[in-house]
Structure 1
Amino acid sequence: MSVPEYVITMEETLDFAGQAYAGKPQLPLALRLIQNTGVRKRHIVQPIEQTLHHPGFEERNRIYEFESKKRCPEVIERALANADVPAHDIGVIIYVSCTGFMMPSLTAWLINNMGFRSNTRQIPIAQLGCAAGGAAINRAHDFCTAYPESNALIVSCELCSLCYQPDDDGVGSLLSDGLFGDAVAAAVVRGSGGTGMVLERNASHLIPNTEDWISYAVRATGFHFQLDRRVPGTMEPLAPVLRQLAADHGWDIGNLDFYIIHAGGPRILDDLSKFLHVDCDVFRHSWATLTEYGNIASAVVLDALRRLFEEDTAMPGATGVIAGFGPGITAEMAVGSWIVDAPRNMDRMQRGTSAPRLGRDLTQSTRRRVAWTA
């Protein structure tokens, strides 16, 4: 994982908001909501003065393309090195981003410039927002299950600050201005070998008739983020879905060893803790990401997983869940167990059991791993 060099603190965010929206009746409520996020600081791809100036959609998107090509390769190289997988052994690149647009996708540029094979599959995911990190893990799982000798690369590039709209002054827009941060993350899902989470089952769920609760309005000035006030309450209907996913696997969702959850905001984590009947501390990795970087969209689950690796407390056989939430309202979920340095021949012998891995080597397949990068 990597974050840009420019930093904005909570105090600076409140000050800028107070100046930019002085006299707006919704400002006091927005400031209270921003304070309650617990986000101490965020990293942004440009100095704050440039971020607050809107140069037009064309220029914003040019900056997105330039910065993504500048920042992704180093993060990808670290992910490949951590996973001990060379670029030419990657079978698919899954690129997730909802903060800029390129066609062809950045995947084509990566293949041409980073030593990937010309027959590497490309899966760009642009419209799942914050849920895309979980979706990328699940699609990598599916790919490696279909092609057991293959490896998958996940790349998340979220430059949320490039979506700032100075004329949007609704409470949801003001809250998002104080919540979202920029980050780039990458992970390798290996067909065999390594240490990490064995991805054993994945699932998706859409809450019916909620597609306008989190959305973009695409206008001449670019992407205008729209957030419905009902979004924080979505953990109540989603908690039973997570519970059922674990139950289908023979597990109790309230009795797992680790939880990698999208940190959309404090209400999301607090409510999920309540509805799953687990202590809020089990989401400590997600809380840490939220506090230090803000909501970094699809990169949250990858950073929370990085923190689990660095904590180095997961024991072989430990059970866990990954869940990302985003527009739709969509949940992308996976359950699996922890494995440490299993020999490759053991992996091959066990491929008859469906168990992928996710971690510093996040793998999957019928035994697969995902390798993260810091």
Structure 2
Amino acid sequence: MATLCRPAIAVPEHIITREQTLDLARELHADHPQLDLALRLIANTGVQTRRLVQPIEDTLRHPGLTARNALYEAEAKARVPEAAYRALAFADLTPRDIDMIIYVSCTGFMMPSMTAWLINTMGFRPQTRQLPIAQLGCAAGGAAINRAHDFCTAYPQANVLILCCEFCSLCYQPTDLAVGNLLSNGLFGDAIAAAVVRGEGGRGVQLDHNGSHLVPDTEEWISYAVRDTGFHFMLDKRVPGTMADLAPALREMAELRDWDVSGLDFYIVHAGGPRILDDLCTHLKLPPEKFRYSRATLTERGNIASAVIFDALERFFDDGGTAHAAQGIIAGFGPGITAEITLGTWSTPGEPNRPPTRQASQARHLTTTSAQAAPA
């Protein structure tokens, strides 16, 4: 079975704090009629720091789409290879062992894809398959894992390298003054993530099952308006409430494997904002601690789009993972409104790859439920 190995995360060197963001909003939008609301929303994101690919004074300038996209390409070429090499090392592989590269980004555009440049530059074989994913936004990290899983299911000895490159700050639009855009200016950060899915071997999350779910008639809730000045992020105020629709999809996915989504051992989910995580706790009847890795990502790096779930997964690895064959879920949420969902078990080399029995899983859930119900 395919295994998602330890990710490598790279963040730019320029840091902006929540206090600096709030001060900038007060300075730049002093006359905005809804400034107090925007400030309150930014403060409530829980984001303490974000990383930017440029200093803030350059980020706030808009030199035009041509210059911005050229900067995206230059920075991607400068930063992606190092993360890719680290992810390959975590998986004990070299570029020549990779059979497909999945490159994910919704914050810049290249054609040929970045995958072609990587193959020519890093020593991948010319036969390496290329799969760019550009229009799934924050859900694309989950989609990349799922497409890698599909490929390794079809070709069991294959290996896939996933790369996410998100420079959200290059989408800043100084003329967009809607409250949703002011909120996004204080929410999104920049990051690169890389991870390998091995068809055989490896330590990490052994992928068991995957699927997608789209909430009907919500395609305009998260979107880009493509204009002369580039990508303009559009965010509907109804987005934070979408977990009421997506939480049941997570439950249904788990039930396909006779798993109880409220009794799993680990949860790696997209942290689009604090309400997403809070609502998942409510709908799935889980304590906040279950989403500690996603919350840490949101606090320290903001919403880094498709890279969020890999950053949260790296924190899970740093924490030592969990018991062999323990069950978990990975989920990315994004435009559509779409959820990309993966079920997997923690795999440690040298241990027998036997999933827990249904009885053991039920017993673990009873223990978890009892602990939650116990008095403080």
Instruction: Specify if TM > 0.5.
Output: yes
Same amino acid, percent of matched pairs: 65
- 2:241 is the alignment partner of 1:233: yes
Counterpart of 1:271, as a letter, is D
- 2:314 is the alignment partner of 1:306: yes
Question: What corresponds to 1:60 in structure 2?
Answer: 68
Q: Distance in 1 between matches of 2:325 and 2:206?
A: 9
Question: What corresponds to 2:20 in structure 1?
Answer: 12
- 2:155 is the alignment partner of 1:161: no
Question: What corresponds to 2:144 in structure 1?
Answer: 136
Question: What corresponds to 1:91 in structure 2?
Answer: 99
Q: Distance in 2 between matches of 1:271 and 1:61?
A: 36
Q: Distance in 2 between matches of 1:342 and 1:159?
A: 39
Q: Distance in 2 between matches of 1:177 and 1:342?
A: 47
Kindly state the Cα deviation for residue 337 of structure 1 after the two structures are TM-superposed. Answer: 0.6
Counterpart of 2:316, as a letter, is L
Say whether the 8 Å CA contact 1:193–1:342 is kept in structure 2. Answer: no
Q: Distance in 1 between matches of 2:333 and 2:230?
A: 23
- 2:35 is the alignment partner of 1:23: no
CA-atom RMSD, angstroms? 1.0
Q: Distance in 1 between matches of 2:36 and 2:135?
A: 32
Q: Secondary structure at the match of 1:332?
A: strand
- 2:302 is the alignment partner of 1:291: no
Question: Which residue of 322, 329, 335 maps to 1:327?
Answer: 335
Question: What corresponds to 2:364 in structure 1?
Answer: none
Question: Which residue of 179, 184, 199 maps to 1:191?
Answer: 199
Going from structure 1 to structure 2, the CA distance change for 1:13 and 1:58 (only over 3 Å counts) comes to same
Question: What corresponds to 1:273 in structure 2?
Answer: 281
Q: Distance in 1 between matches of 2:203 and 2:78?
A: 29
Kindly state the Cα deviation for residue 313 of structure 1 after the two structures are TM-superposed. Answer: 4.2
Kindly state the Cα deviation for residue 53 of structure 1 after the two structures are TM-superposed. Answer: 0.4
Kindly state the Cα deviation for residue 341 of structure 1 after the two structures are TM-superposed. Answer: 1.1
Say whether the 8 Å CA contact 1:45–1:182 is kept in structure 2. Answer: yes
Q: Secondary structure at the match of 2:139?
A: helix
The farther-off stretch of 16-25 and 123-132 is 16-25
TM value normalised by structure 2: 0.91
Q: Secondary structure at the match of 2:300?
A: helix
Question: What corresponds to 1:49 in structure 2?
Answer: 57
Say whether the 8 Å CA contact 2:209–2:342 is kept in structure 1. Answer: yes
Aligned residues: 346
The farther-off stretch of 182-191 and 311-320 is 311-320
Q: Secondary structure at the match of 2:215?
A: strand
- 2:48 is the alignment partner of 1:40: yes
Q: Distance in 2 between matches of 1:142 and 1:313?
A: 24
Question: Which residue of 116, 124, 134 maps to 2:124?
Answer: 116
Counterpart of 2:19, as a letter, is E
Q: Distance in 1 between matches of 2:191 and 2:170?
A: 12
Kindly state the Cα deviation for residue 262 of structure 1 after the two structures are TM-superposed. Answer: 0.1
Question: Which residue of 188, 196, 206 maps to 1:180?
Answer: 188
Kindly state the Cα deviation for residue 29 of structure 1 after the two structures are TM-superposed. Answer: 0.5
Q: Secondary structure at the match of 1:198?
A: strand
Q: Distance in 2 between matches of 1:199 and 1:261?
A: 15
Say whether the 8 Å CA contact 1:96–1:125 is kept in structure 2. Answer: yes
Kindly state the Cα deviation for residue 27 of structure 1 after the two structures are TM-superposed. Answer: 1.3
- 2:159 is the alignment partner of 1:151: yes
Q: Distance in 1 between matches of 2:275 and 2:34?
A: 20
Say whether the 8 Å CA contact 1:195–1:342 is kept in structure 2. Answer: no
Q: Distance in 2 between matches of 1:79 and 1:104?
A: 23
Q: Distance in 1 between matches of 2:28 and 2:181?
A: 13
What do the CA deviations read for 1:124-183 (whole angstroms, capped 9, x no partner)? 000000000000000000001011111000000000000000000101100000000000
Question: What corresponds to 1:337 in structure 2?
Answer: 345
Q: Secondary structure at the match of 1:192?
A: coil
Q: Secondary structure at the match of 1:210?
A: coil
Say whether the 8 Å CA contact 2:321–2:346 is kept in structure 1. Answer: no
Q: Distance in 2 between matches of 1:27 and 1:216?
A: 23
Kindly state the Cα deviation for residue 274 of structure 1 after the two structures are TM-superposed. Answer: 0.4
Say whether the 8 Å CA contact 1:130–1:298 is kept in structure 2. Answer: yes
What do the CA deviations read for 1:230-275 (whole angstroms, capped 9, x no partner)? 0000000111110010011110000000000000000100001100
Kindly state the Cα deviation for residue 26 of structure 1 after the two structures are TM-superposed. Answer: 1.6
Q: Distance in 2 between matches of 1:178 and 1:207?
A: 26
Counterpart of 1:175, as a letter, is L
Say whether the 8 Å CA contact 1:99–1:162 is kept in structure 2. Answer: yes
TM value normalised by structure 1: 0.91
Question: What corresponds to 2:86 in structure 1?
Answer: 78
Q: Which runs of 4+ in 1 moved over 3 A?
A: none
Q: Secondary structure at the match of 1:233?
A: helix
Kindly state the Cα deviation for residue 342 of structure 1 after the two structures are TM-superposed. Answer: 4.2
Say whether the 8 Å CA contact 2:41–2:183 is kept in structure 1. Answer: yes
Q: Distance in 2 between matches of 1:259 and 1:176?
A: 25
Unaligned runs of 5+ in 1: 351-374
